[in-house]
Chain A
Amino acid sequence: GAGVSQSPRYKVAKRGQDVALRCDPISGHVSLFWYQQALGQGPEFLTYFQNEAQLDKSGLPSDRFFAERPEGSVSTLKIQRTQQEDSAVYLCASSLVHGDRGLWQPQHFGDGTRLSIL
């Protein structure tokens, strides 16, 4: 497809389990972002990649959260030892270029993965 694709769309896990969320950005997009959207809130920044380099991970809430983009395309957000407060929608976004030029290109969002921790 032409848009950002995220899988799975829904994920239910028991507290303490590890989960992995996948993002396929738009082909050719250099920048990739992960956001967390809690119920009734706006998206909050988690981390940012430029190609395979993770340039900003200041928003990751704890060391249980880990993101990678090894070949500069598909990205995976992994959450270890999940807790109930991790329940949220996780949004992935990509944009064509990085840096100030990238601001001329909007971030394109996927439909998200809704994670529920029981």
Chain B
Amino acid sequence: AQSVAQPEDQVNVAEGNPLTVKCTYSVSGNPYLFWYVQYPNRGLQFLLKYITGDNLVKGSYGFEAEFNKSQTSFHLKKPSALVSDSALYFCAVRDISNFGNEKLTFGTGTRLTIIP
């Protein structure tokens, strides 16, 4: 089985400050990890992925995420928050050790609000 936990329903950050949105995962084998962002009444937009290699991955709009295998975490980060970053963020995992498994399992989401 594969699962994702996003422990914070809501994160508030002042504009210009660094932000972190937390994600932990559980898989029986090796994970592929993803972050998506959702704006109101819209579908999900891909931000970044961890497949293999460097534990720090960089994505769209200045976001980055760090894969930590020992802590089974994949936290999303940005050095300086913008008001336009306010949205709903989803972490997702796929267990690649399960042959033929293509599906993503998503967390419940974290609402990020950047305060001007």
Q: Which residues does A use to contact B, with CB under 8 Å?
A: 4, 31, 33, 35, 40-45, 48, 55-56, 58-59, 91, 93, 98-100, 102-104, 106-112
B102 at the interface (CB under 8 A from A): yes
Q: Are A42 and B107 closer than 8 Å at their CB atoms? A: yes
Name the residue on A nearest B34 (C-beta).
Answer: A106
Q: How far is the CB of A101 from chain B (nearest CB, A)?
A: 11
Q: 15 A-B Cβ contacts within 8 A?
A: A31-B102, A40-B108, A42-B107, A43-B106, A44-B106, A45-B104, A48-B102, A48-B103, A55-B102, A91-B43, A100-B96, A103-B94, A106-B34, A106-B49, A110-B43
B32 adjacent to A41 (CB under 8 Å): no
Give the CA-CA distance A52 to B56 in the complex, in Å: 37
Mask of B1-31 contacts with A, CB within 8 angstroms, 1/0: 0001000000000000000000000000000
Known pairs A43-B106, A56-B100, A110-B43. 5 more at Cβ < 8 A? A42-B4, A93-B44, A107-B104, A108-B46, A109-B36
Contact B108 A41 (CB under 8 A): yes
Find chain B residues with CB under 8 A from A93 CB: 43-44
Are the CB atoms of A45 and B103 closer together than 8 Å? yes
Alpha-carbon distance between A34 and B26 when the two chains are bound, in angstroms: 23
CB distance from B10 to the nearest CB of A (A): 12
The verdict on A43 contacting B90 (CB below 8 Å), with A48-B102, A55-B102, A111-B42 known, is yes
Whether B106 and A42, one on each chain, are in contact in the complex, defined by CB atoms closer than 8 angstroms, is yes
Contacts of A102 in B (CB 8 A): 102
